[in-house]
Structure 1
């Protein structure tokens, strides 16, 4: 009768353990990218809905201002009422300056109407700090490698290639985080109690965009574009 070899048994167990480890590693290689892709897609969907909401909200205000002829802001009424004229949403048509929080080194702009390609530049104290030309898309980001400074006004000049078109000249103001509006207890609970994640995120963006007569809509648009869902929810007092 053949004797049992403990060394052989140990070798079998050792190789079985190694094989299980290899199988698990292979599973991670195959499954994790798919899972990550799905999670990224879901997150992108959340952000896309929030961005669409801010745009729809602004469009509603702009069209209403055309009808009532009460829109103030950086350009005269006749220019604003020109059909298909170039506009810079969130920055135009306001009595007070749009507000952005300090610390950004990239700003997103949404261009509407006019005739592309567009040219956009941002100036601070008469010095050009951001410039991009031959822009064919409606949404564009500018990165000038330095963070926005508190208390500073930044001028935005946008032009298109339509005949007899005038540049849009407007501006935004950079403020400290401490100036961010805060939701009331009721507003916070109302948003927190929304079960659907997409609706909760959009409601938070809606709340910020409508604060102080829309002065925070430009900031809400930035948040919806940069994809930081946790940061958006935290502004409404919600943590995950």
Structure 2
């Protein structure tokens, strides 16, 4: 998925809706094209898709500026175009509405289920999920560390054929965003009376952390993933 934006979009013409990511195959393409450049035919073979299907989604990603043409090579008397994903391109994405963000979240969920089905038995990993309240300075620092983590993942990405040299196939999903409801911060907090006058404490934030898993997810903003408007999506897919 694309990196969190470092700078605002250069102009209104640069802004692309987050909805462009709302298809699991596009997320897989972005991950694949992080490791190295592929043509539509090459990517189709790796992803077990038809070339026509991959070509269609590549065109959409190219139009959004999430992939770029990096070379053209002669093949069997024709020309094959190879594309590469720049993780920093996510800075041009923005979520214009909650509905748009929900569409992307659904695609991310489908992709995570697909990957989870391929989780290696007894694999080491991290799984974190939380809905909680944070001080603004802590929230800012956590987002910054998540951005750097995404950059590290993309910088270390290898193509699938590197598996023969010992590279491991991994899944990484990081979704951070700020939620609504700030005006009710004082209601039902620990140690305060319940709304009906009953004794505290009130509800505590839901938080779950585990030492095993193939994905890390935290909620509370691109990814990456994924773009402006407090969201970021980074992939290796991605």
TM-score bucket of the superposed structures, by smaller chain: under 0.3
Which structure carries more relative contact order (alpha carbon 8 Å, separation 6+)? 2
The structure where helix makes up a greater share of residues is: 1
Query: What TM-score do the two structures reach when normalised by structure 1?
Result: 0.23
Larger radius of gyration: 1
Query: What TM-score do the two structures reach when normalised by structure 2?
Result: 0.23
